């Protein structure tokens, strides 16, 4: 089943009035964590707003768990039901930032057992560039009854991620200046997990925010040293962009895992070494 959907394909589903189609608007970024005001001004028809900080993350302790620890299963299931999700639904996620944040919802719902979850290729811009309309205001769907259960995606924890470079590839998908430690705007220490390879997530999409063709993505990761026969794990600052890289790896044919705690968790454990340069 495809993990991406084009604006044209989604418009056909919207126009057909599918009762099992659910669209989630996941607008979030570091300098604007609350995307609701933009959502209210204009979103895809029928799209429900999803709150990254309160619905797609647990309220853990940043010092030990990172800035966006995975939500507990009860938290995610309660939120998904408020979004109107039911078992068997087709779910489409998007944001206004080349899907750098919305893929968190894709990864979590796939991890929790939903099979048909897709990312709108090109994100919000792809929809508007195609000439399709937006609607304003809140969408409050009838609550759903979806049943979720974690375990469908590969996850690596802080106690195991340090060993990944010894038998596979560990990809740090943050910007190069954060990887090298030249600039760290938010986390407690600068640098990266020793042995990691820098693979900025922004290079997985084109200027319009569409994922590069699978064969191009595959060659990119091969050039970075990813071995198709060995494990590959991605991480970022707090697990959000890392999920975007996981999708890119899967599109390229790799069986990828995610380190959800990412550098925001690692850096807050002083006993864990940090490399720079």
Active-site annotation, residues? 236
Phi, psi (rounded to 5 degrees) for 35: -90, 5
Q: Are 261 and 158 in contact (CB under 8 A)?
A: yes
Q: Which of 238, 229, 227, 98 is nearest to 170 (CA)?
A: 227
Helix (H) and strand (E) counts for the chain? Answer: 13, 10
Q: Is 207 exposed, middle or buried (0-12, 13-18, 19+ CB in 10 A)?
A: exposed
Measured between alpha carbons, how far is 255 from 156 in angstroms, rounded to an integer?
13
**Strand 169-172 to strand 232-235: parallel, antiparallel, or no bridges (unpaired)?**
parallel
Report d(CA 244, CA 119) in Å as an integer. Answer: 10
């Amino acid at each position: 089943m495809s993990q991406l959907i084009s604006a044209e394909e989604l418009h056909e589903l919207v126009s057909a009035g599918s009762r099992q189609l659910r669209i989630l608007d996941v607008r979030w970024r570091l300098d604007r964590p609350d995307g609701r005001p933009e959502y209210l001004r204009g979103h895809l028809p029928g799209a429900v707003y999803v709150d990254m900080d309160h619905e797609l993350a647990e309220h853990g302790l940043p010092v030990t768990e990172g800035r966006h620890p995975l939500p507990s299963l009860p938290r995610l299931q309660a939120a998904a039901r408020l979004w109107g999700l039911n078992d068997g639904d087709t779910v489409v996620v998007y944001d206004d930032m080349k899907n750098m944040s919305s893929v968190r919802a894709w990864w979590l719902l796939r991890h929790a057992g939903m099979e048909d979850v897709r990312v709108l290729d090109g994100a919000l811009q792809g929809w508007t560039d195609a000439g399709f309309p937006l609607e304003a205001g809140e969408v409050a769907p009838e609550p759903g009854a979806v049943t979720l259960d974690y375990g469908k995606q590969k996850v690596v924890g802080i106690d195991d991620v340090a060993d990944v470079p010894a038998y596979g590839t560990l990809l740090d998908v943050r910007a190069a200046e954060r990887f090298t430690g030249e600039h760290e705007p938010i986390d407690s220490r600068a640098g990266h997990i020793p042995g990691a390879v820098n693979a900025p997530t922004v290079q997985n999409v084109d200027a319009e925010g569409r994922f590069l063709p699978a064969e191009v993505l595959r060659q990119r990761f091969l050039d970075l040293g990813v071995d198709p026969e060995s494990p590959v794990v991605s991480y970022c600052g707090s697990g959000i962009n890392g999920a975007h890289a996981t999708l890119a790896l899967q599109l390229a044919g790799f069986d990828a895992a995610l380190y959800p705690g990412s550098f925001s968790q690692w850096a807050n454990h002083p006993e864990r070494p940090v490399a720079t340069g």
